[in-house]
Structure 1
Amino acid sequence: MSKRFLSIIAAVALTLYASAASAQQLSLGQISAYLNQLQTAQGGFTQINADGTLSTGQIYIKRPGRIRFEYNAPSDSLVLASGGQLAIFDARSNTGPERYPLNQTPLSIILQENVNLEREDMVTNVVSDGTTTTVTAQDPDNPNYGSIQMVFTANPVELRQWIVTDEFGAETTVILNDLIAGSVIRDILFNIRAEMRNRGN
């Protein structure tokens, strides 16, 4: 087989691979539309913490503005976002949750009522490997709040994982397992005051 023929085969193969990769890359408009129609979802998650430790649990999403992370033992902690607040319940504490404004965390980007990743300076990087599209986004008005790196697959479009980088540069990775969209999720799951009463805070 001649070197010329091998070169032609290699060129065709590279062209086909490039076409396939391009076909799988999602646009920012497609991703924004997917997030905006994702009203409710629930599933499992594995979290890689900034110190390298692992946590697992269940996640509940009810957009806009609400998310719940229930951590399995031995952590048994809880993170709730609701009413513009992010509350972190430590199972070892009886002094109530730590609270932060949700809009000062990168999670607010995917929980806002109208996600528009095409907004100027919101997306800082987009990478595709032909199978997944990874988008790094930040609050364009407050980039010091940190960023979120989201990984999506196509056909159908699905959010697979994200990496939150906080204002100090610490990274937390959340890998989603069997996320089911369109679930019926009770509002009480996102009620911070009710959770405080349940925990005797």
Structure 2
Amino acid sequence: MTLFRALAAPLAVLALALPAQAAKLSLTDLSSYLNGLTTVESEFTQINADGTMSTGTIRISRPGKVRFEYAPPDRSLVVSDGQQVAIFDPKSNQPPEQYPLRRTPLNLILAPKVDLGTARMVVAHREDGPATRVTAQDPEHPEYGRIDMVFTANPTELRQWIITDDSGNQTTLILGEMRKGARLNAGLFDIGGEAQKRGVVVSDR
């Protein structure tokens, strides 16, 4: 499993009952919405670059922490502890692959303070039928890839994201119903603890 495939798990399909067109949500309002998210739990569907699909559960604890648990037959696990992202392969007894969170587009929405108004961060902001689509990248390191986020209004809700890697491969993540504000066990985001449970040793970072 590649990093970008792992990090881009789907979020919810846009409701057909929504009006055909809606006013574009402002970057200020969308930043406030993302900053207001503390914890999130949701089922997801992931559409990979090769057209295959995966499902599972995502848990987010802002800032910086996320856990993707993939359902059988995949059973992969991706965890960010706020600094590093670790990808656990259930078929391997080797240490997980690790990457700095700051080198992934997902860092743009997991940051302690999201400001989509930052110069050169947002490269596209438009209406997309009943939704608002925002394309963002690290303004200092566009080579890290980009993330397309799809939001609906009334109330504002993040529905899906698409991560594009530096080779142009895209992975879409569609969320189910988002359960917000629940207390999440810190151990869910403990890379070392997860490695210990699996009997593998985490390499030095």
TM-score normalised by L of structure 2:
0.86
Partner of 1:69: 68
Letter of the aligned partner of 1:76 in structure 2?
A: R
SS at match of 2:149: strand
Greater relative contact order structure (CA < 8 Å, 6+ sep): 2
> 1:25 Cα shift?
1.4
Partner of 2:183: 184
Computed over aligned residues only, the root mean square deviation of the Cα atoms, in angstroms, reads 1.3
Instruction: Find the aligned partners of 2:118 and 2:81 in 1 and give their Cα distance.
Output: 24
Q: What per-residue deviation string (whole Å, max 9, x for no partner) do you get for residues 36-83 of structure 1?
A: 010111010000011111000000000000000000000000011113
SS at match of 2:177: strand
Which has the larger Rg? Answer: 1
Note if contact 2:137-2:146 (Cα within 8 Å) is conserved in structure 1: yes
Instruction: Find the aligned partners of 1:70 and 1:43 in 2 and give their Cα distance.
Output: 11
- Name whichever structure is richer in helix by fraction: 1
Partner of 1:196: 195
Partner of 2:95: 96
Q: What per-residue deviation string (whole Å, max 9, x for no partner) do you get for residues 165-187 of structure 1?
A: 11222111100001111121111
- Aligned pair count? 182
Q: What per-residue deviation string (whole Å, max 9, x for no partner) do you get for residues 73-104 of structure 1?
A: 00000011113101111111110210001100
User: Do the aligned partners of residues 130 and 168 (structure 1) sit closer, same or farther apart at CA in structure 2, a change above 3 Å counting?
Assistant: closer
Note if contact 2:22-2:131 (Cα within 8 Å) is conserved in structure 1: no
Note if contact 1:25-1:130 (Cα within 8 Å) is conserved in structure 2: no
Instruction: Find the aligned partners of 2:132 and 2:73 in 1 and give their Cα distance.
Output: 34
Instruction: Find the aligned partners of 1:183 and 1:166 in 2 and give their Cα distance.
Output: 32
Gaps of at least 5 residues in structure 1 are 1-19
1:30 partnered with 2:29:
yes
Letter of the aligned partner of 1:39 in structure 2?
A: T
User: Do the aligned partners of residues 24 and 87 (structure 1) sit closer, same or farther apart at CA in structure 2, a change above 3 Å counting?
Assistant: same
Instruction: Find the aligned partners of 1:23 and 1:172 in 2 and give their Cα distance.
Output: 26
Partner of 2:6: none
Matches within 5 A, 1:1-201: 24-201=23-200
Which consecutive segments of 4 or more residues in structure 1 shift more than 3 A?
20-23
User: Do the aligned partners of residues 22 and 49 (structure 1) sit closer, same or farther apart at CA in structure 2, a change above 3 Å counting?
Assistant: closer
Note if contact 2:187-2:193 (Cα within 8 Å) is conserved in structure 1: yes
SS at match of 1:197: helix
TM-score normalised by L of structure 1:
0.87
Q: Percent identity?
A: 54
